[in-house]
Amino acid sequence: MDGAPIDDGFPAERLFKQGYSYTYDDVIFLPHYIDFPTDSVQLSTKLTRNLNLSIPCVASPMDTVTESSMAVAMAALGGIGIVHSNNSPSDQAAIIRSAKSHRIPFVSDLIFKSPSDSIDSVWEFGSSPTCILVTESGTRKSKLLGVVTKSDWEALNDKQARVSDYMVKSTISAPSDYDLEQVAVFLAAKNLEFVPLVNEKDGQVVDVVSATDVDRIRGFPKLGMPSMGSDGKFMVGAAIGTRESDKERLEQLVKAGANVIVLDSSQGNSSYQIDMIKYVMKTYPELDVIGGNVVTMNQAHNLIQAGVGGLRVGMGSGSICTTQEVCAVGRGQATAVYKVSSIAERSGVPVIADGGISNSGHIVKALVLGASTVMMGSFLAGSNEAPGAYEYQGGHRVKKYRGMGSLEAMMKGSDARYLGDTAKLKIAQGVVGAVADKGSVLKFLPYNMQAVKQGFQDLGASSLQSAHELLRSSVLRLEVRSGAAQVEGGVHGLVSYEKKSF
């Protein structure tokens, strides 16, 4: 037997030709040879032909996942957030501008009052940890005049007094383009507990940062370089549809500074999307556009021919998506990612694996099967940065998470992504649910990226490019897992346990 070739497992090409629709849990990679440490694994990648990211993570354009706070946090970590379009064009553009005005990876819930206003209740301070801001008009879009701290208001004898009677006139602010360390130095030098960050061009308040905020952010794990655009600001993406009115939305988003546009459709292989791709490329030739969603090689081929800069892969694989159940179309996500990536690679078009991500192992599988990035919805929902307020269900702290195909989301306009905005009868392709509190993405995403690095090390791949080459050359092998093997591969046989990933 010495010298005889060892044939173990299946190459991806053979496995995915068997006529089965596999998802991530159905398949498992066989380990390869390790000759490098975990920390030498590089996760830098491409989002599109022209845009690079430090980590392969994209926040999904869902109205319970990505608005300003998520976009800022993702860019700070080296990924990117795609702001949803289930709102008015002006509201979506405002979210883009807000995210791009930040240099520090969080967005405070700012409360504004005018000098003639009064503060009737402590609840008016909301979740603001520091103060209420006083501006000329009582909105963000006017000059900062002063601040009211909760302790100052609580010490008042006359709670009905006008704000101007007791506010602390603010003459100290810092430029909004200060990064975290610059703000830290500023606070220490001025011996301040907090400082408003003001845009020097228009005088608008962008955020308020406290010394406590600085310490908290410094305590989070560090990742790669932040995602910065050519304008020197955080990179932020935006979703649009394929209706004629989306051309006007697109114009506002470009003016707001969107770095990439995602055509948000559950089935992207359509004349509507191809026409919109061509329109975006002709009107804004410097702007990358991501097409999708697709799950087949033919779908991908059509959008590649139209000129997309990236492809979004997945149909019915999201935890809140019922497309496969309702419409009987879609594909297992592992098969979809492999098939689309195999044709996209020939044209140098990066693939975004969208949906089905529940753990770091799923991220490893998506990336090794050919994706350049993973788009996450439920994985990020429930975090501090996701839109919405926390509530309690059965003793658990949760946030609402809904599919863009749910009736609730469709009533706000998301049915356009299912080409159903003109239909008299609305058919849901998603549900409304809740996701457990996950804390800050600034904490749990770095830990998950470290787990991904360990997965790559076990596979003998020191980078995404190396993993793709090992897969295409049949060096990496896979097998299908039986139901019993899937159970065995998880926690089993215990009366009780507590699962902590980090």
| Predicted pLDDT of residue 409 | 57
| Predicted pLDDT of residue 499 | 72
Residue 206 in contact with residue 101, Cβ under 8 Å?
A: yes
Residue 209 in contact with residue 104, Cβ under 8 Å?
A: yes
| Predicted pLDDT of residue 325 | 78
- Give every CB contact of residue 198 below 8 A, 6+ residues apart in sequence: 144, 173, 174, 175, 176, 204, 205, 206
Where does 143-236 have alpha helices with state H?
150-154, 180-190, 211-218
Select which of 417, 472, 477, 481 is catalytic. Answer: 417
Q: Which residues are annotated as a binding site for K(+)?
A: 316, 318, 321
57-59 and 237-240 strand pairing: unpaired
Structural domain boundaries in the chain: 12-105+225-489, 111-217
Q: Which residues are annotated as a binding site for NAD(+)?
A: 264-266, 314-316
Q: Which residues are annotated as a binding site for IMP?
A: 319, 354-356, 377-378, 401-405, 429
- 345: helix, strand or coil: helix
Helix axes 360-368, 464-472, angle to 10 degrees: 60
Q: Find, among 300, 102, 64, 72, the residue nearest to 199 by Cα.
A: 102
Select which of 312, 321, 331, 477 is catalytic. Answer: 321
- 361-389: burial string, b at 16+ Cβ within 10 Å, e else: bbbbbbbbbbbbbbbbbbbbbbbbbbbbe
Residue 196: other Cβ atoms inside 10 A: 22
Hey, do 12-105+225-489 and 111-217 end up sharing a CATH topology, with the first three levels equal?
no
Q: Is 131 a catalytic residue?
A: no
| Predicted pLDDT of residue 142 | 82
Give the span between the Cα atoms of 436 and 397, in whole angstroms: 6
Give the span between the Cα atoms of 303 and 488, in whole angstroms: 40
Residue 354 in contact with residue 293, Cβ under 8 Å?
A: yes
| Predicted pLDDT of residue 346 | 95
- Give every CB contact of residue 477 below 8 A, 6+ residues apart in sequence: 8, 9, 10, 11, 29, 30
- Structure-token pair, residue 374: 């993973």
Homologous superfamily of domain range 111-217: CBS-domain (3.10.580.10)
Q: Is 417 a catalytic residue?
A: yes
| Predicted pLDDT of residue 166 | 87
Q: What angle do CA 264, 471, 365 make, to 5 degrees?
A: 50
| Predicted pLDDT of residue 413 | 60
State the architecture of 12-105+225-489 in CATH terms. Alpha-Beta Barrel (3.20)
10-residue stretch averages of pLDDT, the chain, 502 residues long: 76 94 96 94 96 97 93 96 95 94 84 88 72 85 84 84 85 85 92 86 83 88 86 95 95 97 93 96 96 95 96 84 80 96 96 94 98 95 88 83 64 56 60 81 94 97 97 96 90 76 66
CA–CA distance from 496 to each of 164, 294, 316, 481, 493 (Å)? 58, 41, 33, 25, 9
| Predicted pLDDT of residue 432 | 74
Give the span between the Cα atoms of 316 and 294, in whole angstroms: 11
Q: What pTM was estimated for this model as a whole?
A: 0.88
| Predicted pLDDT of residue 443 | 92
Q: Give me the phi and psi of 401, to 5 degrees please.
A: -140, 125
